[in-house]
Amino acid sequence: MELAFGDSVLTVEEARPEAFDQLDLAIFSAGGDTSRELAPLAAARGCVVVDNSSAFRMDRTTPLVVPEINPKALEDHNKIIANPNCSTAVALMALAPLHERFGLRRFFCSTYQAVSGVGASGPIELEEQVKAWSEGEMPQPNAFPHPIAFNLLPHVDAFRDDGYTKEELKMRNESRKILDLPDLKVSCTCVRVPVFRAHSISINAEFGSQPNVPDAHAALEGFEGIELRDDPTQNNYPMPIEYSGVQPCGVGRVRVDHALDNGLALWVVGDQLWKGAALNAIQIAELLLKKDLV
C-alpha cells in the first residue's frame, strides 16, 4: 500500500523478517505481541531494535534506557533496547537528579494521566463526551470503563490480584531497573484525567541524606531535559496544557515533605507521547549512533 507523508508518497510493506536484512536500526511501536515476534528476528539479522512496548522492559538481558539517566546501559545491549513506560520516564526525569544529589530510598506517587495514553480513541471520546454533556445528554463510555469528561478514573491498565494495576507496578519495577536500585520502595496510584495530552505526577520522595529546596533546585536546573518552574507566589508551576508537544519535562512545587524523614514533595509534568514515548526512543537511537553502538 501507499501512504501520503508530507509532499511524498511512501510505499508501506508488511514487516517480514527479511525486511530487516539491510537495516542497521529500527524503532518498534506496534505493541507487545508484534515486538515479541519480530524484534528477536530483526536482532538476529543484525538490526538493532529500540522497542516502545513493554515486551522486553524487564528482561534481564535487555537495557531499559532513559538517555539522560542511564546512557551507559546501552554499552552492553543484545541488539534490543527497551523504552520505558511513559509515566516512569516522566517521573524519573525529576527523581534522577535528586537521587544523584541526595540518594533516593523510596517514593510515593499519584499520576494524572492524559486520555491520549490509550491512543486516538481517548481524545475523541473526551471531546464527544464534553459535547454531549453541553447538550444535556449522558456521556457514554467506550474507550474507558466510565465517562471521562468531568471525571477521574483511578484505573489505568488491568488490575492485579493484589489490587494494584499493571501500570502502577511498572512504576516500581522500571524505576528499580533504570536507577539500578533493586530494593527501591515505590507505591503508586495511577489516575486517568480529562486532559488531552501530557501526564502529571505528584511525588513524595524520601532520601538517604537531608534534602533542602535550594540544593534540589540546583540539581534539577542542571539536569538535561528538565525545566524548573517553581515560583508559586507568581502562580508559576508546570501544567499539562503548557507541556503538550514540548520536549523538556517541567518540575515545580518543590518543598520539604512534612510526613517523611529526609523527604521532598514535588510535581512533574511531561508529554507522554514525546519524552514518555517517541522522543525517548529517538534519543536512544541518536545515542546509539553517536556512541557507534549500532
| pLDDT tens per residue, range 234-281 | 999 999 999 999 999 999 999 999 999 999 999 999 999 999 999 999
Active site residue 99: no
Q: Say which of 77, 188, 199, 249 is annotated catalytic.
A: 199
Whether the Cβ atoms of residue 25 and residue 47 lie closer than 8 Å to each other: yes
| pLDDT tens per residue, range 9-31 | 999 888 888 989 989 999 999 99
CATH number of 2-84+278-290: 3.40.50.720
Q: Where are the CATH 3.40.50.720 domain residues in the chain?
A: 2-84+278-290
CATH superfamily of this structure's domain 87-271: Dihydrodipicolinate Reductase; domain 2 (3.30.360.10)
What percent of the chain is modeled with pLDDT above 70?
A: 100
Q: Say which of 86, 109, 190, 249 is annotated catalytic.
A: 86
| pLDDT tens per residue, range 186-206 | 999 999 999 999 999 999 999
In order of 43, 63, 72, 281, the CA distances from 284 in angstroms are 16, 11, 11, 5
Q: 3-state SS string over 270-284?
A: ECCCHHHHHHHHHHH
Active site residue 86: yes
Q: What is the pLDDT of residue 1?
A: 85
Q: Where are the CATH 3.30.360.10 domain residues in the chain?
A: 87-271
